[in-house]
Homo-oligomer: A and B are copies of this chain.
Amino acid sequence: MPRLRIDLAYDGTAFSGWAAQPGLRTVEAELSAAVSRILRLSEPARIVVAGRTDAGVHARGQVAHTDVPDEAYAAVPGRAARPPEEAATIRLNAVLPDDIVVRRVTPAPPGFDARFSAIWRRYRYRICDEPRALDPLRRHDTVVVKERLDPDAMIAAARNLLGLNDFAAFCRRREGATTIRTLLDYTWTREPDGIVAATVRADAFCHSMVRALVGAVLPVGLGRAEVGFPAEVLRGGIRDPRVKVMPAHGLSLEEVGYPADALVAARAQEARSRRA
């Protein structure tokens, strides 16, 4: 069974997140149904994803993989005229709803796993700190706060969280799961259009971790906490009631990083054994 890598984007507004759940509209269920449909499979295709985004979270650079029966893949309509990956991309977009766009379909290198081969995930969080300046067309991926933010203070506060740390204070506790992560980037900028945006990159994230990292730095930006506050929360090692988990709709998965093709199998093995 060849494995396909699927790069995709979605507007998370009308989805109950990535993961399939009975009776709910999810990205996984839509993509799985679309793959099954274009390959004429008898049951929903199994999809593995790099970042299992929560309800309302968007993606511009999500990565998934799926294994397809050789004979089904060979029969994708339009294959005669085009390379099969090209035909699959066009067909998937033709059957998917408007709020999901498949960027490309490519044959995965040997041993590739969309989740376990990933070496980092990069997220973005958008905040508008002047309600009347909000572009109403961006209200679905922008969180509004009513007071002005100081991005310089937020940059300084975020910097203190970088590196290999136990992020238990920013994670929803799960039995037997580690909360140790490497935070590779956490920066803030004020964009030309006035939006204050965070870039957060780590090897992996626990559930709601990005939104808690944003929530920890926000009081600093509002002048209600010292620059050292997020680092103090980190050291505390437990959920801090002063840290608000920010709303989902400001968050977007922008990019997933993988090693060179020759290393994806080794990376997947290493990540799997670390989780076990």
Contacts and interface: CB of A to CB of B under 8 A. Distances in A.
B89 A137 contact: no
A140 B138 CA distance: 10
Interface residues of A, number: 26
Contacts of A60: 135, 137
Interface of A: 9-11, 58, 60, 89, 93, 98-104, 131-141, 252
**This chain: how many copies in the complex?**
2
A9 B135 contact: yes
A85 to B, nearest CB: 12
25 contacts: A9-B134, A9-B135, A9-B136, A10-B136, A11-B136, A11-B137, A11-B139, A58-B136, A58-B137, A60-B135, A93-B131, A98-B136, A99-B136, A99-B139, A100-B136, A101-B131, A101-B132, A101-B134, A101-B135, A101-B136, A103-B132, A103-B133, A104-B132, A137-B138, A137-B140
A137 B10 CA distance: 7
B141 A137 contact: yes
A67 B158 CA distance: 49
A140 B140 CA distance: 11
Contacts of A136: 9-11, 58, 98-101
